[in-house]
Structure 1
Amino acid sequence: MKEFAILARGLYRPDQLAITYDPSLRMPTTPAIQQWMDTLWQQKLAIAQEKNIPLYDSKLFRLVHAETRHAGQQGNTTPVGAGEELSGEGFLGADHHIRRGGGGVDVGRGRLRRPGRRGKVLTPPGRGRRKRPLPLHPPPPPLRVRSRFRGDIIKYLPLRAWSGKGNEPPRLHLIFGDTSYKEYVTTREPEFARGRDRQQLSNALAVCSVVETTDGHILLDKRQGVDVYAGRYHVIGGFFERDLDTSTTTATSATSATSATNPDPFAAIRREIREETGIQAADIAQQHCLGVVYDLATPHAELCFLTRLNIPLNEVSQRVPEEDEIKQLLSLHVTEES
């Protein structure tokens, strides 16, 4: 079973990320879709409260486009309207996939705020005892969105690696819009996602990182208290939040002043690492973005990172996490066998 699609890959420093942020690039909705999401969200909140699992809405970034581009290369990144997708390499679909074995390490997110999948609305078709659907189901029909794509143009677009030629390394071009945790949780439901194109979903953007100590250990957590991938090991990660992971720049002139919101993926993953492990920015020796993947099972995108620390594992264990999401921080010693 294919579980991830690789949208872009490489080794990118912060200055090699070219980000365009347009809040109008949201998931397309109709009044019927919005009402369906509102009702399902209230049901999920009630279940989460019964199970004593934190669940709250938050403002997230939405991945619209990801493309590796070399110096002098022109990309086709002209927006085609709010909620619509863009042409070019790295659109939300690719032929490069990752398969995961049972119980293996997965590059995934680790927030513990999602309710278990139980009850009439939350039981996917074909799993467990069949429940009679509520009147809310089936979800409203998809909103048809005009697309610039024709045929298999997005089926296979080769990823290029920098050969060292030329004066500049490749850059990872990203286009972000707006979404929310509520939109993500509701639109990832199989009843909603089935039969819809990816551009018709929330496509919330997460960040995750392999974190490696100086003595060759990778930090891990075993997923628990979650409704997807429970029991699997994963690296440090979480969602890219608009209220926490941005900076604002202001440009002034003689007559006016304008401000711009600048999403910072590197700040987002440093925050997640700090919250979940207590590791500070001063403990990090190197950090690179490895690219973008798309989770096919729970539709959303993830920016993947490699973080090398300047401290060993025993010092990591002395750090105090800011949150209690990880009940027990685990590690894997990196050897040829492992």
Structure 2
Amino acid sequence: MREFQILVRGCFDAERLVVSYDESLRMPRTPSDEDCIEACWRQKTQEMEQRRAVLYDSPLYRLADWEVRLDGRLYLTLGLTSYKEYVASREASFAQGRGRRELSNPLAVCSVIETADGQLLLDRRRGVDVYEGRYHVIGGFCESERDRDNAGRPDLFGAIRREIGEETGLRRDDIARQLCLGLVYDLVTPHPELCFLTCLHIPLAEVRQRQPADREVERLLSLPARAESLRSFLFTHHGQISATGEPALLFYGGWRFGEAWYAETLWRLT
């Protein structure tokens, strides 16, 4: 069973990812919803404290709408939410009877990273409240107060570069090319996620010399960027990869190895 839904698949550079922002596009909330959100947050905070991990609330971009138009661009409409809202809205008791567009829907980003010598970077999630212990590619949520361009507009390519820098220590000048390969929806912990590809012009050995800004990633793992290696990894660890990490790797495989590889691998994962 798939834990994700593919909303958009394509190849979008920064010029082909068009974002508009309206802070008023928030999750609908009633007074009883407010009580539920606060109760869920208290409970989750206590759970994380018992695991000696910290949970932070922060304002996040909310995906309100998306569309691929005839001009070949992906148009995203963003509103505002918070991690606290997300913690509540992903609970089955809260989400029951609500359409997907009525949930928090914070937009996350993740990226497959390919080194100059043909290795893909992975990590095992730790100290997080979802998917702990699973394989994942580098990523995180888009923060509305940090991920903006010089004009104050949402900067989603900037968001994934920030996450990459924080978790790996890689710098902007280490990146040779960056593309958005699609948009997926996590069905288990409901939220949308943009999947990127980041190609480096430095090898794996040099990547390992970088110092990350935080300690979210205990140790970077690597996987040869070869068709059979990637397919074997997906089949062997299906169910042990995060719900958005798996489609990100599938998108990369389709981009790198072609449509036949993508179609067969996706079919065999069902």
**TM-score range relative to shorter protein:** 0.7 to 0.9
| 1: CA distance, partners of 2:180 / 2:227 | 24
| 2: CA distance, partners of 1:177 / 1:12 | 21
Aligned pairs for 1:44-55 (under 5 A) are 44-55=44-55
What letter corresponds to residue 320 of structure 1 in structure 2? Q
Aligned pairs for 1:137-176 (under 5 A) are 170-176=72-78
**C-alpha displacement of 1:243:** 1.1
1:290 is aligned to 181
| Offset from partner CA, 1:76-122 (integer Å, 9 cap, x none) | xxxxxxxxxxxxxxxxxxxxxxxxxxxxxxxxxxxxxxxxxxxxxxx
Once superposed, what is the RMSD of the aligned Cα atoms? 1.2
- Contact residue 62 and residue 203 of structure 1 kept, 8 A: yes
1:24 is aligned to 24
**C-alpha displacement of 1:8:** 1.3
What letter corresponds to residue 183 of structure 2 in structure 1? V
2:105 is aligned to 203
Pairing partner for 2:127 from 225, 232, 247: 225
- Contact residue 66 and residue 292 of structure 1 kept, 8 A: no
Look up the SS of the partner of 2:153 in the other structure: strand
1:322 is aligned to 213
1:278 is aligned to 169
Structure 1 or 2, whichever has the larger Rg, is 1
Bigger relative CO (Cα 8 Å, ≥ 6 apart): 1
How many residues are treated as equivalent by the alignment?
Answer: 229
1:39 is aligned to 39
What letter corresponds to residue 309 of structure 1 in structure 2? L
Look up the SS of the partner of 2:86 in the other structure: helix
What TM-score does the superposition give when structure 2 sets the normalisation length? Answer: 0.82
- Contact residue 3 and residue 297 of structure 1 kept, 8 A: yes
Look up the SS of the partner of 1:228 in the other structure: coil
- Contact residue 110 and residue 193 of structure 2 kept, 8 A: yes
Bigger share in helix: 2
1:303 is aligned to 194
Look up the SS of the partner of 1:271 in the other structure: helix
- Contact residue 127 and residue 216 of structure 2 kept, 8 A: no
- Contact residue 212 and residue 218 of structure 1 kept, 8 A: yes
2:268 is aligned to none
**C-alpha displacement of 1:231:** 2.6
- Structure 2: runs of 5 or more not aligned: 230-270
**C-alpha displacement of 1:248:** 4.8
| 2: CA distance, partners of 1:302 / 1:46 | 27
| 1: CA distance, partners of 2:56 / 2:127 | 15
**C-alpha displacement of 1:65:** 1.0
| Offset from partner CA, 1:134-188 (integer Å, 9 cap, x none) | xxxxxxxxxxxxxxxxxxxxxxxxxxxxxxxxxxxx1111000000000011110
2:15 is aligned to 15
2:235 is aligned to none
| 2: CA distance, partners of 1:245 / 1:308 | 21
What letter corresponds to residue 213 of structure 1 in structure 2? T
What letter corresponds to residue 179 of structure 1 in structure 2? T
